[in-house]
Structure 1
Amino acid sequence: MKRLVTKTKKKTTPKKNLVIVESPAKAKTIEKYLGRNYKVMASVGHIRDLKKSSMSVDFENNYQPEYINIRGKGPLINDLKKEAKKAKKVFLASDPDREGEAISWHLAHILNLNLEEDNRVVFNEITKDAVKSAFKEPRRINMDLVDAQQARRVLDRIVGYSISPILWKKVKKGLSAGRVQSVALKLIIDREAEINAFIPEEYWTLDSVFKKGNKQFQASFYGVNGKKKELKTNEDVQEVLSLLKSDDFEVTKVEKKERRRNAPLPYTTSSLQQDAANKLNFRTRKTMSVAQQLYEGIKISGGVQGLITYMRTDSTRISPIATNEAASFITERFGANYSKHGSKVRNSSSAQDAHEAIRPSNVHLTPESISKYLDKDQLKLYTLIWNRFVASQMTAAIFDTMKVNLEQAGVRFTANGSQVKFDGYLAIYNDSDRNKMLPDMEVGDSVKRISSKPEQHFTQPPARYSEATLIKTLEENGVGRPSTYAPTIETIQKRYYVKLAAKRFEPTELGEIVNKLIVEFFPDIVDVHFTADLETRLDDVEIGQEEWQKVIDQFYQPFKQELGKAEEEMEKIQIKDEPAGFDCDVCGNSMVIKLGRYGKFYACSNFPDCRNTKAIVKEIGVTCPQCQQGQVIERKSKKNRLFYGCDRYPDCEFTSWDKPVGRSCPKCQGTLVEKKVRGGGKQVVCVNGDYEEAKVK
């Protein structure tokens, strides 16, 4: 009799869904949100790109880009393929912008995914609700966004890989040109030309202190006999003062109005970069780096959570959910009359409105409530973003304003005052002086002049660009997009086309040379209007209104003619070495000043037989307070920050962020240094904190 054997079925592990994001930092967080049925991996940015060694654009085949897998990413690609094969379904969750869409498209190509499938997931904030909600509504890869990214990449490659080799041959190796960087460089150089051509003009102001009852207030000279008069010289001032017969003035006009000041809009990428530079002293790259950390997630009580929405945006739109949450928070914290719930924000015409403005992902996570989880820089930037968003959802501030005219013998002074009637958004975002009150006055009242203060002034040239003002100018002119500003600014500094002096951009000799050649041979590349129009057409590709190859072709055909002309007619520029004024301490030949990739330096004229080089340093005329032998010189840190050190380094390791003044503290004999103080002044203090001198403007 045969025995019946029962076979037990092997347990099979259920297949998981594979999710691919860009950053490893957010992979763990998203996996935790999605649960055990999902495995989340990171592509670590792009996995395919154009070759670095060649143009990689097929001009004979309608400008098709020639992509290759990025070197070093082979093992990662193999891992992704392996996991994709055994996955139930693959979701592509790269960042919600053009670049992210292109990354998803490249992943789909490498993993053989069907482009007709709904496998693209987009979320604007890394919170549990936002991520889970996004996975309920996957979509197809948006090929218009992919084509827009390809168009920009190909266009930048054509410009850079065509002009740069010409500059290498005609000027020196290591130079580059690009659509946005060339415009930025020209703006800086044009501003420098304005400054150099500026002729100051003298002018005077005449302010007086008046008294009404027990209250004093200030008024400014306006004109004579009802007409505005400019005071160009001291003689003009004295002529006005000679008209006055006494110190008694009559109030001839009182104008009272109610004025509303609306809250600022929430941040876009460029407005955040500008405010972070002006208010926090953050460089553009630092702002974006810290914002990335806040977006990808910070470990707070209850787990890791993304604290802000996606930080690359030119939209000021806020989602209805976030608007409702802000309204509730503002009503609870300040009262219903502070919430402007229901008002609509209008975007600029250039904004693609792909996603929202930069805002906190949860308005209830106030800066104070999570400060212990953030480092110093994260807290500063989060506070800036949180305050701006909450303010943007609050009602306007209302001021009672008052303007008065004071006259005697035809001489008119005017005074302006204001008082907060309702603070509105200023309750959280005080961006100006609130009150400048005037005493109550009526027409016919008499006021007494207490004193007058004539002051001489001279008109000032336009200021050099800072990072913030350069970004603002590029944005106003429609040049570049949020993601391009930080790398553009970094590139023109890395190429030594410009340098930062007192946080302002100055063009270098090399920058002047490169700009002159590009302006002469490639005028469209540095034409602001041409570049802005091209940006607009590239944006039209993004919304399916233009074919990307057509945009490229219409740019390339005339550009090709300019390239040919430049190759033939551009003369080789010889950058001459300057005599250094001393001899080489190795071989005895004269030293010269050479222009290198990172600026000027001393080198032996007997190169290549003698390769002696020295950095050009600036002495400040102070003996080293530590070794008493060397001289204190200016140095630059790796992050280009100025500091002071001994020229005998490494034998003497004295360094200081503050400038030594060459004197010792009268109390403890410590080193005295010059520190900057608020308001633009300076103050000499002891490094040991025992002594300080009066502030100097």
Structure 2
Amino acid sequence: MKVLVLLESPSKIEKIKHYLEEGFKENEYTVLASGGHISKIADKGTWGLGIDLETMQPQFTVEKTRAKIVSQIKKEGKNADLIVLASDPDREGEAIAWHLASLFDGKKKEIKRATFNEITKDAVIEAFNNLRDIDMNLVQAQFARQMLDKIIGYLVSKSLQKSTGLMSAGRVQTPALNILTTRDEIIKQFKEVLYKKIFVIDNKNNINLNLTKDKNNKTVNTEKTYYINESQSKGMVDNLSEVYKCSDYKSTAFETRSFKPYSTAGLLQDGFSKLKLSAGQITVAAQKLYEEGYITYIRTDSVKYSEQFIKDAKEYISKNYSENLFKEPIVGKKDLNSQEAHESIRPTDISMTPEKAILEIEDKTQQRVYSLIWWNSIKSLMKGPSGFNHRWTFRNEGYEFKQSWQEVLDLGYQAIKHSPSDENVEITEDDEIEEISNQKPSFEFKQGFELNISKDYIKIEDAKTNPPKMFNQASLIKELKNLGIGRPSTYNPILTKLKDRQYVEYPKSKPIIVTNKGYEANQFLYSQYQDFFNLNYTADMEYKLDKISEGTFNYVSWLQDIYHSLDKKVKEDVSQAQTDILCPRCKEANLVYIKSKFNRGRGCSNFTTTGCGYREYEQPDGTWKEYVPASKDDKNTDEN
């Protein structure tokens, strides 16, 4: 049987063709790659949306850059007995499969869908042994997502451009920009409070008591109560005696497990904080590792492993470390709107250690990302450091002091020392855990005893309140995930679009900087279109798209309501859009923003009535300069 297999990425062709020819020797395979989407919604009709506004159905056109591969696919499909659509296993991949299948409408071809979470021989053969039909719920969800993005993006961008000269707004990147600007405003308006902390410190005996309540049993140094000032601190110290009576003692067992299976968001966050790589760098490296068969599919919100991987990892840990070190992974509560359609990101073969991988993987960034994923996966299936947390409460003349100490009895994965050859991963560990455990206080592990400590050991330290931290790429992705905004496939594009629009800057490994254009865009969009970009509304959109994927929500009336609301408002705003700057040439009309491919432009609003052709463009330093077209004489001089 002649089988045509259609993939997304050309880099997968050789490997998958090899697996298929080994697993199904009776068939003849031709494997081609579409290079991603072959079609897009046409830029035609009302507002250039390319949508039938009565039925809310998209009108597609083949991408010009895909014409050659489309022709080749059609040609090979003529002779195929079976066409298998093996695009990526997500909503976008399902839509790509639908568009590829539509190339053979009316041709009476047998067309099936194959999906696999990893590019390994077993996974590919299993997928081809379990072919299915295209999931139209996923396809409809992808259509709805495209139409939603285009309705909001095209209409609001038109208003933004006419009113400010800025070029673009987006359904998801606009709320992300608002999160950044809101945090910046909070930081700018923050007023620090200087205060005092009172300790009793005896390093020789590992005593470190911290004053937590005053003699009126009121908690100190919190925003809800009060902060100790200098005069209060001196008065408190004067009131203290040298006798500290232990009024309470508690001991509770603990285990610290810092590693859990990677979702896309988790990988991007750790890649930024631990490897100092941008979301874009991590995504590119991880995608290549997936295509080469080293790791599972990288766009997932799941934090679960397959039973087979857990079994294989358990055997590996028992053989190479200790039988007692294995522990089932952390299964926390399901994330907001998490679909968990795929397994979490992990190595396809746990025995492919970072030391072995660097012998095969040439790219340094890919080596580091693989090491990060491998170590995270193995340690997420190990016991963490464990022992007891000891907490003492002391009273002195009515004042309350506390001290705690963590006693580590089992280091767990902390006992593992990385091989010197594993130089491409920088994993931050709880390096101080052993040191802290050695700092055992010299007093009793019970209540009722007394400590006699000279006042010479009392320390008053300066402290101040701090504003919330600025977002970096990792913390922004975490915030988006927590708010239910965006999905595994959109985190990196959100960051990329914000930068491409010149709304933000990303200094390497540092907080995100919102530019003047970013502030201006945010101010306009949230003053005029707040209802369409508030965080709850955006999260609800994502929720509805997920429900479409499940086949439990009809999107037609929903999209129509959004369109009609925006259409009315944008028309009103665009008709009134005008600056308060008088044209410096004709001095008869005000300037309006004009469409410009690069820098912002302004032109005389009298152009259509009087022909005043005054134009000016924003310069890199923020000033505006009149546009003076080159004369014919100048052009001739240049040519000669």
TM range (shorter): 0.7 to 0.9
- Paired letter, 2:270: D
Contact map agreement 2:195 2:228 (CA 8 A) in 1? yes
2:587 alignment counterpart? none
Aligned 1:487-636 pairs, distance under 5 A: 487-500=493-506, 503-572=510-579, 600-601=620-621, 605=625, 607-608=627-628
SS class of match (1:487): helix
CA-CA distance at 1:392 after TM superposition: 2.1
- Paired letter, 1:232: I
The yes-or-no answer on 1:40 pairing with 2:35 is no
**Aligned counterpart in structure 2 of residue 175 of structure 1, from 167, 187, 192:** 167
Aligned 1:343-358 pairs, distance under 5 A: 347-358=334-345
CA-CA distance at 1:555 after TM superposition: 2.4
SS class of match (1:264): coil
Deviations 1:555-593 (A, max 9, x none): 22322332233234454476999xxxxxxxxxxxxxxx9
Bigger drift between 80-89 and 46-55 goes to 46-55
CA-CA distance at 1:365 after TM superposition: 1.0
**Aligned counterpart in structure 2 of residue 419 of structure 1, from 383, 397, 407:** 407
SS class of match (1:520): helix
**Aligned counterpart in structure 2 of residue 240 of structure 1, from 236, 241, 246:** 236
Aligned 1:640-679 pairs, distance under 5 A: none
CA-CA distance at 1:345 after TM superposition: 6.2
Contact map agreement 1:183 1:525 (CA 8 A) in 2? no
Alpha carbons of structure 1 residues 56 and 267: separation in structure 2 relative to 1, 3 Å: same
Deviations 1:579-637 (A, max 9, x none): xxxxxxxxxxxxxx9999998337784642699xxxxxxxxxxxxxxxxxxxxxxxxxx
Distance 2:322 2:154 in 1: 59
**Aligned counterpart in structure 2 of residue 359 of structure 1, from 346, 349, 352:** 346
Deviations 1:349-394 (A, max 9, x none): 5111211111111111111222222332112211211122222222
The yes-or-no answer on 1:336 pairing with 2:342 is no
Contact map agreement 2:83 2:110 (CA 8 A) in 1? no
Distance 1:233 1:561 in 2: 57
Unpaired runs of at least 5, structure 1:
1-14, 298-305, 578-592, 612-697
**Aligned counterpart in structure 1 of residue 392 of structure 2, from 404, 411, 416:** 404
Higher strand share goes to which structure?
1
Contact map agreement 1:182 1:525 (CA 8 A) in 2? no
Alpha carbons of structure 1 residues 270 and 155: separation in structure 2 relative to 1, 3 Å: same
2:198 alignment counterpart? 206
Contact map agreement 1:251 1:441 (CA 8 A) in 2? no
Alpha carbons of structure 1 residues 444 and 567: separation in structure 2 relative to 1, 3 Å: same
2:74 alignment counterpart? 81
Distance 1:398 1:362 in 2: 29
Aligned 1:49-448 pairs, distance under 5 A: 49-52=40-43, 55-112=48-105, 119-172=112-165, 175-210=167-202, 215-225=205-215, 226-230=217-221, 231-246=227-242, 249-262=244-257, 264-297=259-292, 306-341=293-328, 347-374=334-361, 375-427=363-415, 431-432=429-430, 433-435=432-434, 436=436, 437-442=439-444, 443-446=448-451, 448=453
Distance 1:345 1:74 in 2: 46
Distance 2:209 2:235 in 1: 18
Number of aligned positions between the proteins: 570
CA-CA distance at 1:100 after TM superposition: 0.5
Alpha carbons of structure 1 residues 409 and 343: separation in structure 2 relative to 1, 3 Å: closer
Contact map agreement 1:496 1:597 (CA 8 A) in 2? no
Distance 2:550 2:601 in 1: 50
Contact map agreement 2:42 2:50 (CA 8 A) in 1? no
Deviations 1:26-58 (A, max 9, x none): 111111111163221111111111235763433
CA-CA distance at 1:115 after TM superposition: 9.7
Bigger drift between 90-99 and 104-113 goes to 104-113
Alpha carbons of structure 1 residues 343 and 535: separation in structure 2 relative to 1, 3 Å: closer
Distance 2:42 2:199 in 1: 66
CA-CA distance at 1:227 after TM superposition: 4.4
The yes-or-no answer on 1:474 pairing with 2:480 is yes
Deviations 1:618-666 (A, max 9, x none): xxxxxxxxxxxxxxxxxxxxxxxxxxxxxxxxxxxxxxxxxxxxxxxxx
Deviations 1:447-496 (A, max 9, x none): 54563432222212222211111111111111111111111111112112
Distance 2:92 2:134 in 1: 12
Alpha carbons of structure 1 residues 329 and 235: separation in structure 2 relative to 1, 3 Å: same
Deviations 1:249-288 (A, max 9, x none): 4444332221233453201111111111111111111111
Bigger drift between 362-371 and 139-148 goes to 362-371
- Paired letter, 1:393: L
Distance 1:491 1:430 in 2: 30
2:419 alignment counterpart? none
Distance 2:65 2:385 in 1: 56
- Paired letter, 1:331: S
Alpha carbons of structure 1 residues 598 and 223: separation in structure 2 relative to 1, 3 Å: farther
Distance 1:274 1:190 in 2: 21
SS class of match (1:340): coil
Q: TM-score, normalised by structure 1?
A: 0.76
SS class of match (2:457): strand
Alpha carbons of structure 1 residues 550 and 336: separation in structure 2 relative to 1, 3 Å: farther
Q: TM-score, normalised by structure 2?
A: 0.82
Contact map agreement 1:594 1:600 (CA 8 A) in 2? no
Bigger drift between 181-190 and 561-570 goes to 561-570
The yes-or-no answer on 1:31 pairing with 2:17 is yes
CA-CA distance at 1:549 after TM superposition: 2.2
Unpaired runs of at least 5, structure 2:
222-226, 417-426, 585-599, 603-615, 632-640
Identity of aligned residues (%): 30
- Paired letter, 1:278: S
Contact map agreement 1:204 1:233 (CA 8 A) in 2? yes
Higher relative contact order (CA 8 A, sep 6+): 2
1:634 alignment counterpart? none
Contact map agreement 1:21 1:42 (CA 8 A) in 2? yes
- Paired letter, 2:18: K
Deviations 1:394-431 (A, max 9, x none): 23542211112344444443211112222334445874
Contact map agreement 2:140 2:548 (CA 8 A) in 1? yes
- Paired letter, 2:433: R
Distance 2:96 2:582 in 1: 43
1:462 alignment counterpart? 468
1:693 alignment counterpart? none
Alpha carbons of structure 1 residues 430 and 191: separation in structure 2 relative to 1, 3 Å: closer
Bigger drift between 396-405 and 485-494 goes to 396-405
- Paired letter, 1:223: K
SS class of match (2:349): coil
Alpha carbons of structure 1 residues 228 and 547: separation in structure 2 relative to 1, 3 Å: closer
CA-CA distance at 1:139 after TM superposition: 0.4
Distance 2:246 2:527 in 1: 61
Distance 1:607 1:223 in 2: 68
CA-CA distance at 1:25 after TM superposition: 0.7
Contact map agreement 1:251 1:447 (CA 8 A) in 2? no
CA-CA distance at 1:233 after TM superposition: 1.4
